[in-house]
Amino acid sequence: MVRRLNLADKNFERDFAAFLALDRDDGADVAGAVAQIVASVRKDGMVAVVALTRKFDGLDPDQTPLRVGADEIEEAVSACDAEDLAALEFAARRIRAYHEKQTPSDLLYKDDVGVTLGWRWNAVDAAGLYAPGGRAAYPSSVLMNAIPAHVAGVKRLVMTTPTPNGEVNPLVFAAARIAGIDEIYRIGGAQAIAALAYGAGPIEPVDVIVGPGNAYVAEAKRQVFGRVGIDSVAGPSEILVVADGDNDPVWIAADLLSQAEHDPSSQSVLITDDPAFADTVSAAVEVQLSESPRAEIARAAWRENSAIIIVSDLDEAPALVDAIAPEHPELAVANPETLLEKVRHAGAIFLGRYTPEAAGDYVAGPDHVLPTARAARYASGLSVLDFMKRTSIIGCDAQSIGAIGPAAARLADAEGLPSHAKSVRVRLKSVDE
């Protein structure tokens, strides 16, 4: 049975703290193995990549070129169902339209003493996208990772995706074409991340690496961070539903399982002020689990990592939401805007009874790459800004350096940096003369 907590219980704080402290990591210690792979690719480049691709993916680069050709991309697109392609293109248009509104503006102005100040935004030169391959492929993630980069103005987009034993998901290649990616390599795992970060043969290094992956991919991104920027080191998926008793329990159960079916380490939480409704949702979950082809995965997530929390009033929910800082909170209540104003820590918030999290995964528009493992306390979802950097602009003339220079020189003296101070004072002296 799923754990059940009640805010009114005397031991709630203890039990809730224990729930927050659950270790949902799969327990795999991959850091050492990943460090060896990264070092090998950094040292030997494409030679190491080829050997590792043979070893881990069962693919012989002598028989199948690592770079995916334009003809193969077109062939994959032709193999896709027309309605699937239409859905991808529909999603892409909505994702692009949303992210175009995120593009920041430059600014240049003079302050009250005449110093020119401002900032300028530029896209990085190149971005790498990791896309899981084989049966675990997610074409929606290709769109969500590549389109913000394209909107930001990144000129070179590179995608790596494993094709274990030659297995290809045509929709992944179709999504890449729709998103504007034409440099694609059949490389997976930590070796793909290392190749993107350090370069390998024809793969030139990129500046930012994004995209989901297994524990090896996540650890590789952690290890190359600093050499390149990364989106995040993502943890297991999460959903939290705040729901009153006026909801259909079947709907809420489906929403909770929509994340539980990702992985046994996923987490689903229901917060409600109606204990009887909680019972009906719990029963509906069991029914849907019995019908799900992913029942083993979802059942483990539901029973090991998830919870139902009973509150006396839904006004108590926002504080709990903020403490959990979930990836996907749904506010399935009559007036979700009231709760929305009070929630501060969340990846993406879904408003009302007719907004399932799955709408955000595919077609709503905002990015579905979101902070997990309570990282929403300090982090945001993927956006155009992850592919841009801001450069500050400062300009002084004789009058304005005269206004701000004495304080700068004084602070340099206080920090024991005489050349700093002199670089200011020689200019002040010319102004005085």
Which of 219, 238, 327, 330 does the annotation list as catalytic? 327
Q: Which residue has the tokens 């059949």?
A: 186
Which of 99, 262, 328, 368 does the annotation list as catalytic? 328
167 is catalytic: no
Phi, psi dihedrals of residue 160, rounded to the nearest 5°? -115, 140
304 is catalytic: no
Q: What distance in Å separates the CA atoms of residue 342 and residue 329, rounded to the nearest whole number? A: 13
Q: Which residues are catalytic?
A: 327-328
